[in-house]
Amino acid sequence: MPKLLPLGRITNLLQRYARSELKPTQIVEAIHTQITNDDDHVWIHKLSLDTLLSYAHDVESKSMASLPLYGIPFAIKDNIDLAGVPTTAANPDFSYTPEHSATVVQKLISAGAIPIGKTNLDQFATGLNGTRSPYGACRNAFNPEYISGGSSSGSAVAIAKGLVCFSLGTDTAGSGRVPAAFNNIIGYKPTRGWLSTRGVVPACRSLDCVSVFTFTAEDAAHISAVVTDYDNEDIYSRKRSTRQVDFGLMQHFRFGVPSAKQRQFYGNDENEQLFNVHIAHLQGLGGEAVEIDFAPFLEAARLLYEGPWVGERYAAIRAFFKLNSEKVISPVREIIDGAEQFSAADAYDGIYRLRTLKRQADHVWSDVDCLVTPTAGTIYTVRAMLQDPIRLNANLGYYTNFMNLLDYAAVAVPAGFQSDGLPFGVTLAAPAHQDYALLHLAARIQQAYPLPLGATGVRDTAPQMTKKFSNLMQSDYVRLAVCGAHLSDLPLNGELTNRKGKLLTCTQTASDYKLYALAEETPSRPGMVRVTENEQGYAIEVEVWELPISELGSFITGIPKPLGIGMITLSNGEHVHGFLCEHYAVTNATDISQFGGWRAYLEHLS
């Protein structure tokens, strides 16, 4: 019998299915056996073996080609509906059994994914620590004496222990990121409205996001591609907007970090050192660190629990809370009870103040492409959290509470370990609709600085980003290789920069091209052609730029004969669009291939 658990990347399991090494029925049987004992308090409801096998048999009756998540097991936070299974939001007295699954859950099942069960959470998704549940404090995957992070605690630990390949959480204040950091996994908090929240018990409905936990950023992008869709029946659903330039692909990018005096680690010197190491790692990937004023972000963060947005948590469960407040766990009860101090006028004042703070915070995007912070400054023991639940929970939200209020997307990424073996993580953030740029940068970080997957001890067996993932990241932009007057600082480069183009990398083509100086061209231009099978070819210097697809048409119409746009092979085997020349035009042109590129040829002439 092949080894079935712990599970790893989605891609790896799909490959094993494709090679007929495993079947979904074998996987669900193994998982069911593994989760029978739940000493870590991961699960609130586990599906029966008969139900799991029913899902698996249904998947096996279909072709893999028709199901992008064929037989992939996943967990669902128990404030998200699964048809026929109770939704408790970690309050058994609140429990109801939905007839229909949440929109995101149904999309996943339709894509071939298999739900394993409903996971534990901080009650009513109120908390960042994972201890606020009558079903028990969910234990950290690395050390049970420490908190697992919340509110999506069970979903994070289920991934970290390799019981599933991905899981769903929710994120209002950081619930999709803090547990990711504390359990050494990816926590993807999408742009608000990208993933439908229909069928989700609200915390703050105007801010809530369905979040995704995975082992890798590539897996998170895979899930996002399946479930991201406009939902006309969700009043907060948003259509995906054409994003800005994908800084995740760029050779040089600028990332903001809080100024040194505004960083908070609550006495945890090791986490401070790990954050500094991560800054160096990003610089090693071509990033430029820029210190920013973190004050408006911090003030916005305080509005979530110290301002009128607490009233929205009350509104979410008002009917239940009025009749059953004594059945709500402490300190969740006290937090929601505090909503009564805020008036409607207070709510409007809060909205006005938030708009002011967002205007101030958004200034940072003129200087940096993304923001990088610790996900949490430190981690606490369960005992310490229970003794001081409000203050310590607030500390956990220092770097997270502002995100949805300011309408940013974010990805939590593993970033190393303390000397005691507990993980540390960072969060990458950017304006709304920059999700794929963040995921692409997160994937580069994981590729360059690989860590074990969760708490499984398994290392990624396929760290290179797949072409499918690369293509997904560029869905609104096109990469374009230029080899002549469009190069940086040359006469026609403005045709790219004026169309919001950005330089990704300087590289070379594969070694089967020739470069010619074309006669009677102003400004002087080269023509690159691909050689025939028996000809000597060369690697030619090119720059790869990223150009919005919406700008591509006007760019192409300005290209004169004999040049055109075709597919070029780069030295690393990638294929990108780029300038090619018709063969007839080089008959009497000067072969300058030996110079290796147009810039070198111009230097030779000078």
515 near 598, Cβ under 8 Å? Answer: yes
Backbone angles phi, psi at 289, to 5 degrees: -80, 135
250 near 356, Cβ under 8 Å? Answer: no
User: Which residues, listed in sequence order, are joined to residue 197 by a DSSP beta bridge?
Assistant: none
Residues 470, 444: Cα–Cα separation, whole Å: 11
User: Per the residue annotation, which of 175, 196, 211, 593 is the catalytic one?
Assistant: 175
3-state helix vs strand vs coil in the chain, percent to 5: 35, 20, 45
Pairing of strands 73-77, 43-46: unpaired
Number of Cβ within a 10 Å radius of residue 242: 11
Find the helix or strand (DSSP H, E) in which 153 lies. Answer: helix 153-160
Number of Cβ within a 10 Å radius of residue 492: 14
Find the helix or strand (DSSP H, E) in which 503 lies. Answer: strand 502-508
Give per-residue burial for 266-290: e unless 16+ CB within 10 Å, then b: eebebbbebbeebeebbeebebeee
Paired tokens of 19? 């090679």
Residues 166, 145: Cα–Cα separation, whole Å: 24
Known catalytic membership, residue 77: yes
User: Per the residue annotation, which of 46, 77, 107, 161 is the catalytic one?
Assistant: 77
289 near 257, Cβ under 8 Å? Answer: yes
Paired tokens of 532? 């025939």
Residue in 8, 312, 10 with CA at minimum distance from that of residue 162? 8
Paired tokens of 555? 């760019």
Known catalytic membership, residue 151: yes
Backbone angles phi, psi at 538, to 5 degrees: -140, 160
User: Per the residue annotation, which of 148, 151, 211, 237 is the catalytic one?
Assistant: 151
- CB-based burial label for 341 (10 Å; 0-12, 13-18, 19+): exposed
Residues labelled catalytic? 77, 151, 175
